[in-house]
Structure 1
Amino acid sequence: MASLLQRSFPRTPSPLSTGERIRRGHTGANYKTNNPWNSIYQFSRPHTVIGTVFSIISVSLLAVEKMSDLNPLFFTTLLQAVIAALLMNTYVVGLNQLTDIDIDKVNKPYLPLASGEYSVGTGAMIVTSSLIMSFWLGWVVGSWPLFVALFVHFVLGTAYSINFPLLRWKRSPVAAAMCILIVRALSNPTAYFLNMQIHVYERPVVFPRSLILATAVMTFFSIVIALFKDIPDIDGDKLFGIQSFTVRMGQKRVFWICISLLEMAYVVAILVGSISPGLWNKVITVLGHAVLATTLWARAKSLDLKSKAAITSFYMFIWKLFYAEYLLIPFVRIFAYGPGRSSHQPPRWPRPYGEAAVGLAGASGRSPSLLPVRDAQQTNVRRNCYYLFTTRKSMADELPGSRDNGYT
């Protein structure tokens, strides 16, 4: 299968001869380290590995309602999900490197395939084995949310990179951004939360406010990552005809669009935190995002857009902000609700008088007359409101003896 994969992804033809690339310093030969651990490290794209681990742990914790939920099954399932996701991540980033070898010799000459440390056959073997093991683990675990997350990542990651008709969506800036947005902001947070909620705890499908906030903020982050990743790669993209937003609009304009989007995301998070219940929720959400927004703005103002090294460093800084956001999300879940009440429990709306009376009596095992006065008063209010909008018939006629048992 590896040989088939290798034949299916021919290198993109380079408009530069080998001698010209060497003269311009575009080969990766000078980046060889002969260090196998460094090669594995670079091939896996460590910033995506860290982002994947942080996101899965963070959204998995959103399903925890009480300390007893942190049981061995939780940690076992979490480990399985992380390993399966990292294997799929290796497939996606490896496939992208296989199809972009000549482009990476310009943009990222330190990568193993671009530098020549890995042959195309070695890269194809790593990519194929990672894909097979990821799907195998997802199938063995038996969690449909986990398998769906892996499948979505596989489909979009393949469509993003592979050089087949109607595919290689990275050539379209909109399609490329949508691939990253769907995986990072929609599919992964939702699926890995439901992996715990349904597969581990066997609870109904719910979408707590903290998950909705995470999805909203990560939508901004995903768009920014999709746009910003092409800013330092503008030379190679121009050379090989990749019409990214940076190529079309220029580095400076795309850079400030990215900064504006992130600041908007932080404003949204601060507003949500300011109106959320609980003091700790307000403090952590508002203060945490205010610090991140201020730090981002200060670094953006001092960035030299003419330095590729500075732009690349800033791109890694955006990923650190991405990690920090996932560190904040579990705290929003923990402090957003008072003790004894789960974020997944629906509000207790008033019920019709009959259901309320039977429910109160049945729950206590006593007659309604023995219920606390407060409960009796609440039931009386519900009963009268219900009858006001349904019938003019007296409640005393409907419940015999109700005038004698504390209901009126």
Structure 2
Amino acid sequence: MNVDFMEALEQLEREKGVKKEVLIDAIEAALISGYKRNFNSAANVRVDIDRQTGNVKVFARKQVVEDPVDPRLEISLDAAEQINPALQIGDIVEIEVTPRDFGRIAAQTAKQVVTQRIREAERGLIYTEFIDREDDIVTGVVQRQDARNYYVDLGKIEAVLPFTEVMPGEKFKHNDRVKTYITKVEKTTKGPQVMISRTHPGLLKRLFELEVPEIYDGVVEIKSVSREAGQRSKIAVHTKNPDVDPVGACVGPRGTRVQAIVNELKGEKIDIVRWSDDLAEFVANALSPAKVVSVEVAVAEDEKVARVVVPDYQLSLAIGKEGQNARLAAKLTGCKIDIKSESQLGLNNGDSGLDTEPDVEE
């Protein structure tokens, strides 16, 4: 190794963010292993790389003793005094034992170590970048697929989009651009792995943050989201500013903002409702577009139950197809919802139109 090699390490430090000292320390450690392997040396060697010139030297570390038993580990006092008269019994002396052809081994080892450390550093930088983007939205390009996953190029890494995280009926081709939500970033033996989703409720939340400036600025707050991907979603919004309509802000002029999100989600229906700290009012809003006559909230065994009365002609709308509207409302509000029509209430107080419990959002 030479001055050019040291300059190359400095350039790597600037470009890749790998500290020069870290690389040199790693090369020295690797050279010790290489020296022991190639020259059958004992474990008491030290490798020194000159930080200016790049020259490599190997030193054997020996203890000064009266009668040496293993010359690889020990040296007599007489021999030690020829090196340094101040040495005494028990001291450690270093003797240069650099082999003649060690430069070739050093160069090869250094190349391997630097390559490995650069790869590790790049993986570390990618992991750091994407762990900070966990629970965020990203746009990538579909590269390929196998029996279970799509693989999406995010620029510096290829993310995994499982088929189970794709909306029903949604299919992608090579080079399709797709917006996804980062659900998990983890370190593996092959480098960082990024898992993404198209079905996660967080994707809907992030899309609204992108489309609605009032949400991005913090004027309007998203309180909760419930979603059945590809079919229907509900989102509860709130603002402390009395001059701002949180629902209108999310809908946008002539519905342009919410329509952009619907288009991105391939026609998924989205109900935007006003959040309220009054749970009864919130439940009534969450059952939109159904009209509610009354809501009574009770707490039983740490479980919140909302008993809802709706007009007869609104019962099927409140319940929704296969119970979807009521199910999403329960998940949005975090309470069990018991829906009755006015006639059911009058005829039989024990029967209900639908009894739903909130799903647990992951």
TM-score category, normalised to shorter length:
under 0.3
Structure with the larger RCO, 1 or 2 (CA within 8 Å, 6+ apart):
1
TM-score by length of 2: 0.25
TM-score by length of 1: 0.23
State which structure, 1 or 2, has the greater radius of gyration over its C-alpha atoms.
Answer: 2
Structure with the higher fraction of residues in helix conformation: 1
Structure with the higher fraction of residues in strand conformation: 2
